[in-house]
Structure 1
Amino acid sequence: MRVIFAGTPEFAAVALQAIHAAGFTVPLVLTQPDRPAGRGMQLHASAVKQFALQHGIPVAQPTSLKLDGKYPEIAREAHELLRNTPHDVMVVAAYGLILPRSVLDIPRLGCINIHGSLLPRWRGAAPIHRAIESGDAQTGITIMHMEEGLDTGPMLHMQSVPIAADDTTGSLHDKLAQLGGEMITETLRQLQQGAIPATVQPEQGVTYAAKISKEEAGLDFNLSAEQLARKIRAFNPFPGAHATIAGTTVKFWHAQVVDITSGKPPGSIISANAQEGVLVACGTHSLRLTELQKPGGKRLPASEFLKGFPIESSQSFC
């Protein structure tokens, strides 16, 4: 079984590593172009590219695959490369580029996607974030045959994972990435033996996981403490939930819901001390912030954070 792999972030790199470790031949990897990152804005290769180069796998980084798009010449070169690279199937995981029909039709066994949700719930770019933010009790991995619609293809395998009360996007990402790697290797083994029965996605229960923006990570304390706690978990590690106090933007990494109604306006500090953390009034109940970060500083437990950034009960977050 010869597998072309298309993916970009760590979630995809875990799957590529599993495919490689299982002994499948990977003649080519597609990934997003290098992006500037860090304080120096140096160009950084994706996690998938780094793994591929470490293991001698050829890498291509087209900016587009659409023949009728903005960069048709680049797309034509990518199409030619795919057609000239002998392979049986393409596996796609968090690639970041749309695969047009002209690409989906190239592999003999089609294109298979590893998606981080229980489809049809949370189709789209940020399924892990949105599942936590919405308070879902479970999520999982769906392996599906790709078609032109956004995550609409028939499903080959699905496995659920409970969302723990303390799961962040970071911790849940790692669980799902590991599961995705296990499931895709088993799917490829089954494909070697013949066709796998596919299940059409139900029309009921469709939701869309819009891409996460930095702007939406600013917290509105008029929301309930439960909603805010979920947002803090969902935006950890990116983009980091935050609010402003005394003109300074502070990020929140961990928090707890507290069944206290102080009578203070939402966003008001109820108390701030090393023993109890930073307790903030919300639209309903209160929120105890237990890990915070000031600009240029480290993520710190509330007890340590308050030593360098005192907060008074007369202040408010906005």
Structure 2
Amino acid sequence: MSLVDASGRKAGNYTGLREQLAGYGFLAPWLLGFFVLTLGPALFSLYMSMTDAGLMGDPQWVGTENYVRIATDDPRFWTAINVTFTFVLLSVPLKLVFALAIAVALNKGLRGLTLFRAIFYLPSLIGGSVAIAVLWRQVFSGDGLLNQALNALFGYEGPSWISNPSTSLYTLVLLAIWQFGSSMIIFLAGLRQIPQDMYEAASIDGAGRGRQFFKITLPLLTPVIFFNAVILTIDAFKAFTSAFVISDGSGGPIDSTLFYTLYLYQEAFTNFRFGYASALAWVLVAIIAVFTALSFSTARYWVHYDD
């Protein structure tokens, strides 16, 4: 090998190493955040779930005792599971339907479309805030706006929808549905990608709007529906603020709004059973993982891609 070739190879190796170091330098903030703020606390939480850690004293290793207790000796855990699953099964499909309906309506070429999109998207920005949860509690209270409207229009003396165990959860479902803006924007983007010549060909063949919707729009929109369904399901399992504010952190009345995350919060920051709360957190991770895996495993039967 000549001296020229050797020096050229060394220069090339040095340039490649410098580029790699520059790449890792740009990745350093993300890597630091991932290991310090995400992976590290997650692994520490997994360790905590195997202990009886509390507010005072050193945590003692108990193995899988917390998980056994969750499955066999904690009735409030099953109450929280029932409330959360009911919330997910009601809010996610209704939110999808409502968001898709608004997106289809906005896709008709309305004048001022940008303004309408901003107005409908606004609840998604502010709907998860404490202020909106407080407002929601006032609207559905015994002397709230809803009952005032019912009394003025129909002479009906409505109950306190928030304080009634039979209706309190449904008020939170309505609040979740009201925050449909993000899903609507994604649906609207998907609708804009459907070729218009398919609708023109279907119209020539005599297909009405209903048939076009079920034979063209829905099949071609299934990837977007799948994406929104997965994201909304994960978000619904993690719902916390509305139940915490509306029930004053108790999950009442009679645990009718005891979301899983709210029960986890109570165990950690009210009862100071940090080890047990960590175990509850990992059970929630497992539940979300199972639902996500089931969604992806069944997607091939109903999600239609271009190929």
Give me the TM-score of the superposition, normalised by structure 2: 0.24
Of structures 1 and 2, the larger Rg is shown by 2
Give me the TM-score of the superposition, normalised by structure 1: 0.24
Higher relative contact order (CA 8 A, sep 6+): 2
**Structure with greater proportional strand content:** 1
